[in-house]
Amino acid sequence: MSELKSVNVAVSPLEKFREYLATKGQRLTPERKAIVEEVFSEHEHFDAEQLVQRLTQNRGNRRVSRSTVYRTLTAMEEAGMLRKVARQDDRDVYEHDYGYPRHDHLICRETGKLIEFQCPELESILAKVAAEHGFLMEGHRLEVYGRSAEACRPRVRKHSKLERI
């Protein structure tokens, strides 16, 4: 499967978030700016704790509090920049929802692996079903759960010394 490419957007993630905060009477603090820049520095799925760790490593001594990270992620989700994709180990996993094409996910219950895919045929089917029901579709979210190829492979069993005799 090919990796999803970003799409051109009129406003940078930083400006979009600044505009969202302004509608709430808030400002873009240096900590919030660092969080947005780190989140959008590369396209990958992450949880809040992974982001805290990345920020700590990349900002050296300048600390961004854990609570600021959690609050900012919630605000970014409300602003339409992020979305929660799944839960792994009792943690929400986020991905970019701004600047990336609509896509769906295959999620391995055993390994937690997330596979992104696009399927135009699926889009057509959903549009047809919505039209048949007089439903105005504004978007969709599809998460297919199962086992990845790695999880389905037979495990290599190591034989004990007694079995080798």
The residue segments making up the domain with residue 45 are: 1-100
Residue found by looking up tokens 């199962």 in the block: 146
Do 23 and 76 belong to one domain?
yes
* C-alpha span between 20 and 31 (Å, rounded): 16
- In the 8-state DSSP scheme, what is residue 145? E
- Structurally, the chain folds into a number of domains equal to 2
Q: Which of 45-49, 75-79, 87-91 has the highest mean pLDDT?
A: 75-79
Question: Does the annotation flag 123 for ligand binding?
Answer: yes
> What's this model's pTM, rounded to 2 decimal places?
0.73
Question: Does the annotation flag 104 for ligand binding?
Answer: yes
Residue 9 contacts by C-beta under 8 Å, 6 or more apart in sequence?
16, 98, 99
Where among 100, 118, 141 does a domain terminate? 100
pLDDT digits (tens, 9 = 90+) for 94-151: 988 887 778 888 988 888 888 888 888 998 999 999 999 999 998 888 888 899 888 8
Question: Does the annotation flag 133 for ligand binding?
Answer: no
Q: Partners of 116 in the beta sheet?
A: 105
Mean pLDDT value across the chain: 85
Confidence of residue 90 (pLDDT cuts 50, 70, 90): confident
Do 93 and 106 belong to one domain?
no
Which pLDDT value is given to residue 37? 93
Which pLDDT value is given to residue 162? 66
Do 32 and 64 belong to one domain?
yes
Do 28 and 85 belong to one domain?
yes
Confidence of residue 51 (pLDDT cuts 50, 70, 90): very high
CA of 47: how far to CAs of 1, 133, 158, in Å? 23, 37, 34
Do 69 and 1 belong to one domain?
yes
CA of 72: how far to CAs of 19, 69, 114, 122, 125, in Å? 14, 5, 23, 33, 36
Where among 58, 77, 100 does a domain terminate? 100
3 has pLDDT over 90: no
Do 83 and 109 belong to one domain?
no
Which pLDDT value is given to residue 5? 66
Where among 78, 100, 122 does a domain terminate? 100
* C-alpha span between 101 and 10 (Å, rounded): 14
8 has pLDDT over 70: yes
Which pLDDT value is given to residue 2? 43
Which pLDDT value is given to residue 36? 95
Question: Does the annotation flag 108 for ligand binding?
Answer: yes
CATH number of the domain bearing residue 73: 1.10.10.10
Confidence of residue 6 (pLDDT cuts 50, 70, 90): low
CATH number of the domain bearing residue 148: 3.30.1490.190
Do 88 and 15 belong to one domain?
yes
Do 81 and 6 belong to one domain?
yes
pLDDT digits (tens, 9 = 90+) for 114-123: 888 888 899 8
Backbone phi, psi, residue 21, to 5°: -60, -40
Confidence of residue 1 (pLDDT cuts 50, 70, 90): very low
Do 15 and 70 belong to one domain?
yes
User: What's the full length of the chain, in residues?
Assistant: 165
Helical axes 30-39 vs 13-23, angle rounded to 10°: 140
Do 81 and 18 belong to one domain?
yes
